[in-house]
Amino acid sequence: MEQPAAVILAAGSGTRMNSALPKVLHPLCGRPMLAHVVAALRRAGVGRVLIVVGRDGRAAIRNAIGAGADYVVQHPPRGTGHALAQALPHLRRVGLAYVVHGDMPFVSPATLRALRRALGRTGGAALATRVVEDTHRFGRIVRDPAGRFVGIVEERDATPEEAAIREVNAGMYVVRVAEIRRALARVRPNNRQGEYYLTDAMNVLAVTGREVTTVPVSDPAEMLGINTREELAEAEAALRGRILRRLMQGGVTVVDPASTFVDAEVRVGRDTVLHPQTILTGRTVIGAGCEIPRAACTASRRAAVGTFLRWLKTVSIATAATGICAASAINMHT
Decide if 16 is catalytic.
yes
Do residues 109 and 43 make contact, with C-beta atoms less than 8 angstroms apart?
A: yes
Q: Give backbone dihedrals phi and psi of 216, rounded to 5 degrees, phi first.
A: -75, 140
Which one of 16, 48, 113, 182 is the catalytic residue?
Answer: 16
Do residues 118 and 172 make contact, with C-beta atoms less than 8 angstroms apart?
A: no
| pLDDT 10s digits, 289-318 | 999 888 666 654 333 333 222 223 334 443
Residues 6 or more apart whose Cβ sits within 8 Å of residue 316: 325, 326, 328
Does the pTM exceed 0.85?
yes
Q: What ranges make up the beta strands (E) of 228-314?
A: 253-254, 261-262, 267-268, 273-274, 279-281, 285-286, 291-292, 296-298
- pLDDT confidence bin for 113, thresholds 50/70/90: very high
Question: CA nearest 286: which of 229, 334, 253, 325?
Answer: 325
| pLDDT 10s digits, 198-208 | 999 999 999 99
| pLDDT 10s digits, 246-269 | 999 999 999 999 999 999 999 999
| pLDDT 10s digits, 141-174 | 999 999 999 999 999 999 999 999 999 999 999 9
Question: CA nearest 203: which of 138, 274, 121, 139?
Answer: 139
Dihedral through CA 261, CA 267, CA 270, CA 276, nearest 10? -20
